[in-house]
Structure 1
Amino acid sequence: MGNDSGYTFSIAHLTVLDLAPPEMIALAARTGYHRIGVRLLPATPGGQAYLLDDPAMLRETQAAIADTGITVFDLEIVRLEPHTDIASFRRFFEVGQALGAQAILVAGNDPDETRLTANYAAFCEAAVPYGLTADLEFMPWTDIPDLAKAIRVVGAAAQPNGGILVDALHFDRSDSHVEDLLKIPREWLHYVQLCDGPAEKPTTTEGLIHAARAERLFPGDGGIDLVGMMRPLPRDLPVSLEIPMETLSRTVGPEERVRRALDKAKAVLAKLDVAGEPLAQRRAS
């Protein structure tokens, strides 16, 4: 399937977290992607992460970028907590700059909105010299549980490199609203994460987290209205396919999974142009 939609595609690290960045770059080059995301910091204590303390692998990753033309787009994952020390991210920024990355995925884990907003603003300021945006991702089990609060925090922080990351699963599970997508200023949108999930939503926090980190579905295979979510978003946003599938991964290797993911994402996005669907809500790129 061709790519005449205007979208470019990235493999999110969570999709193939067992692969080191050089392997991901080679995989992306073989399967038709343009970019990858890299997890520099673990999502949970003791979780998998790469490169911050591995200069040899960093050099190998830079060589793979040069050899293939596949770029690193986003970096994960920064959690802003009550006692976060912004100065501690210097190495994170330096590695991101060395990779040529553009965006950082940021999570809000502080119930004090005033302090969280101040820390987010300070983090944005610290990232500026490295050419990085700070994209706040709302997730229903965090202290930025939905799109409305993400808009409020990023707006109050008022930083030129601030942004909001819309993840399809979190958008659906947080009961955020399509009309709120139109309230996001264009300059806050740097990329979007696409996947699918069952129509029936988990009823517990544990269930939400497990589904998000381990058992998503390929675009079009679940019950999320992906076309409705994508319609108001700019058509030139990079699309990161974040689709961890622990059960499927026991029988299907990473190359086949990322190929299926890309084919299915393109099929969903092609529906944006189906004749007869109203385009009035589409935002200009």
Structure 2
Amino acid sequence: MTIGPGIGLCHGSLRDVSAAELVRLAGANGFCSVMLPPVPRASAAEAAGFRALLEANGIRRVVLDGAMAALPRCPFAAQMGWTVDQHFEVAERFAVDCFSVPHYGGDPATTVAELADALGPFCERAARGGRTVALEFLPGTGIPDLERAVRILESVGASNLGIALDTWHWARSRASLADLRALPPGAIADFQISDRSAAQDTLPDSVQWGRLLPGEGVLPLAEIVGIVLANAPQLTLNAEIFSEARQAQSPAEAARDIARALKQLVGALEAATPSPPSPSSSPSSSP
């Protein structure tokens, strides 16, 4: 039995790669989804041929990371010079299917109403291009946890708006498996996976760094993946592993190791999932 539609590779898991390099490495290692940075690095020729490159490498889904310019009280986006128009220009150029929207560095005092007012028009514009919007919660921001993210979703009421679930921030926010199970069906719009050591909670909190390959830490990843795919069966398992160990590797080595870890996790899930009985094994009924 196959678990989910495949695996994905996020730009932050590799050291300094262009958009085209990310796609080629993803294709070479069996990934079917990629996450690009807010401003992908690409030559004019690479950008012009990007859709063909995606098709040639079997990439069926593209997520744009850090599409946060629409959010209020988010100085990081302004410091980087990002704009909403830029996000949509990048989406057109690089065949983006989904915007991942974190309130990165945002003011924790930002209200649900402020965030909903900003997200409504953004979601409408995204919907016109057939794109989804995945709202990412991060502790210490105006969207610190699942509960706040769900409130914003309910306030906006856009059919193309969901939650970006990152296992790292799920653990940082002290959420539970029960919290995930309680999400409305289809609420998860993007899934970012990494592992976490048992000692991580005793270390200074890190928004990004310290992530481990799936299977190297103690997070209940099998249970999380099962819940995610029950909520949104179409999602890929996207490896977002900001890690000093991965940065020390060549991009090719890191992509290979990440793919191996994800495939081992998927294989274990498939082995643990009973296959439905075949018609020939069903008891025959008497006339």
TM-score of Structure 1 vs Structure 2, range by shorter chain? 0.7 to 0.9
Cα distance in 2 for residues equivalent to 1:246 and 1:71: 29
Report the counterpart of residue 240 of structure 1 in structure 2.
238
Deviation at 1:162, TM superposition (A): 0.4
Asked if 1:75 corresponds to 2:64, the answer is: yes
- Give the residue type in structure 2 aligned to 1:183: A
Cα distance in 2 for residues equivalent to 1:183 and 1:255: 38
Report the counterpart of residue 187 of structure 2 in structure 1.
188
Unaligned runs of 5+ in 2: 275-287
Report the counterpart of residue 215 of structure 1 in structure 2.
210
Report the counterpart of residue 226 of structure 1 in structure 2.
221
Cα distance in 1 for residues equivalent to 2:273 and 2:100: 36
Deviation at 1:179, TM superposition (A): 1.5
Alpha carbons 1:97, 1:131 under 8 Å: kept: no
Find the partner of 2:19 among 11, 21, 27: 21
1:169-188 alignment to 2 at 5 Å?
169-188=168-187
SS in 2 for 1:5: coil
Report the counterpart of residue 167 of structure 1 in structure 2.
166
Deviation at 1:275, TM superposition (A): 4.8
Find the partner of 1:261 among 258, 262, 265: 258
Report the counterpart of residue 44 of structure 1 in structure 2.
none
Alpha carbons 1:38, 1:72 under 8 Å: kept: no
Q: Which has the higher contact order (CA 8 A, sep 6+)?
A: 2
Unaligned runs of 5+ in 1: 42-48, 278-285
Aligned residues: 260
Which aligned segments of 4 or more residues in structure 1 are displaced greater than 3 angstroms?
Answer: 54-57, 201-204, 269-277
1:54-93 alignment to 2 at 5 Å?
55-79=44-68, 80-82=71-73, 88-93=83-88
Alpha carbons 2:38, 2:67 under 8 Å: kept: no
1:189-208 alignment to 2 at 5 Å?
189-202=188-201, 207-208=205-206
Find the partner of 2:36 among 27, 38, 42: 38
SS in 2 for 1:36: strand
Alpha carbons 1:106, 1:134 under 8 Å: kept: yes
Report the counterpart of residue 50 of structure 1 in structure 2.
41
Cα distance in 2 for residues equivalent to 1:247 and 1:269: 23
Alpha carbons 1:38, 1:50 under 8 Å: kept: no
Asked if 1:147 corresponds to 2:146, the answer is: yes
Deviation at 1:241, TM superposition (A): 0.7
Cα distance in 2 for residues equivalent to 1:148 and 1:134: 17
Deviation at 1:274, TM superposition (A): 5.2
Root mean square deviation, CA, Å: 2.6
Cα distance in 1 for residues equivalent to 2:192 and 2:41: 21
Alpha carbons 2:13, 2:242 under 8 Å: kept: yes
SS in 1 for 2:198: coil
Deviation at 1:78, TM superposition (A): 2.1
- Give the residue type in structure 1 aligned to 2:213: F
Report the counterpart of residue 270 of structure 1 in structure 2.
267
Deviation at 1:132, TM superposition (A): 1.4
Cα distance in 2 for residues equivalent to 1:248 and 1:29: 19
Cα distance in 1 for residues equivalent to 2:148 and 2:252: 37
Deviation at 1:60, TM superposition (A): 4.2
SS in 1 for 2:162: strand
SS in 2 for 1:95: helix
**Identity percentage over the alignment?**
25
SS in 2 for 1:134: strand
- Give the residue type in structure 2 aligned to 1:82: R
